[in-house]
Amino acid sequence: MTIPTQVNERVQAHYTRSGLGGLILAALEKAGKDLNRLTPEDLAPIDQFHIRGRAATLELAQATRVDSTKRVLDVGSGVGGTSRCLAQEFGCRVTGIDLTDEYCNAAAMLSDRVGLAELIDYRQGDATRLPFPDASFDIVWTEHVAMNIPDKPKLYEEMYRVLKPGGTLAIYDVLAGPSGPVHFPVPWARTPESSFLATPDELRSLLEQAGFNITAWSDTTDAARAWFVALAEKISKEGVAPLGFHVLLGSEFPAMAQNQRRNLEEGRIVLAQIVARR
């Protein structure tokens, strides 16, 4: 099974905003950033498109032992926040792949503007059909991506395939909680038709069936809940800031943030950081 075309189309429609790169630059300027002297830190409120942002990325990088010798594939690279963070902090070479053209274009533009284009490249593509040879990467990395992918066996088989023997899989993902269905819309899907959450037990099984040896598993739900409660309360009191995820997701983001808070508080979703080896 591969991802049905209609699912891909729904996912692309969810994330696509026409002229996204220009929207991001306008938001940066409105937030008082100098567009001619941008840094990865300037972009963090918008490009770390996952719960707990840059802090979560650096925690996973530490657990994965990223360094300058590693060749990294970022699956579901979005507008490039993770790839830029890894390249800047560790000097590693990163390839990003994302289903959404607008994200790939914005990611390349922003990486160029912060002076990291030599270390990073981006490809538009499907995570269940990775356009890379076997054993190409030391680390395969993914944050908040599998929620949009129904064919999870193929996803993890492909990740295993492109990893070098002894290579590392780094995952930070939203999983199905024990307390019932998700309240929609959420940042990854406006309706249930684009949402495919695995439970923690299902993910363990999927990874083992693909051939991975899980070496570390951390439940980070409590930290995620505290982060999202603070974000939702800030939006409720102050409205959205010039620079934030609403630039990517549009006017529905405040409702998505409130639902995400409810989902975390009610145990409808959980968060996990996982390290596995081929």
Closest C-alpha among 171, 168, 167 to residue 204? 171
3: confidence class by pLDDT, cuts 50, 70, 90: very low
What is the pTM assigned to this prediction? 0.93
Closest C-alpha among 158, 155, 157 to residue 146? 155
pLDDT score recorded for residue 4: 58
Domain count, the chain: 1
d(CA 14, CA 184): 13
* Tens-digit pLDDT profile for residues 145-185: 999 999 999 999 999 999 999 999 999 999 999 999 999 99
2: confidence class by pLDDT, cuts 50, 70, 90: very low
d(CA 210, CA 265): 32
* Tens-digit pLDDT profile for residues 183-241: 999 999 999 999 999 999 999 999 999 999 999 999 999 998 898 788 778 877 887 77
The rounded percent of the chain whose pLDDT value lies above 70 is: 98
Q: What is the DSSP string of 257-273?
A: HHHHHHHHHTTSEEEEE
* Tens-digit pLDDT profile for residues 30-43: 999 999 999 988 99
* Tens-digit pLDDT profile for residues 81-140: 999 999 999 999 999 999 999 999 999 999 999 999 999 999 999 999 999 999 999 999
Task: State the average pLDDT for the chain.
Answer: 92
Read off the tokens for 78. Answer: 């979005």
> Residue 189: CB partners within 8 Å, gap ≥ 6?
14, 147, 148, 195
pLDDT score recorded for residue 1: 40
d(CA 115, CA 119): 9
Residue numbers of the domain that contains 142: 5-277
The neighbour count for residue 219, using CB atoms within 10 Å, is 13
Q: Any idea which residue has 């145990």 for tokens?
A: 267
Contact (CB, 8 A) for 173 and 276: no
Q: Any idea which residue has 């993890």 for tokens?
A: 156
Give the CATH number, domain containing residue 116: 3.40.50.150
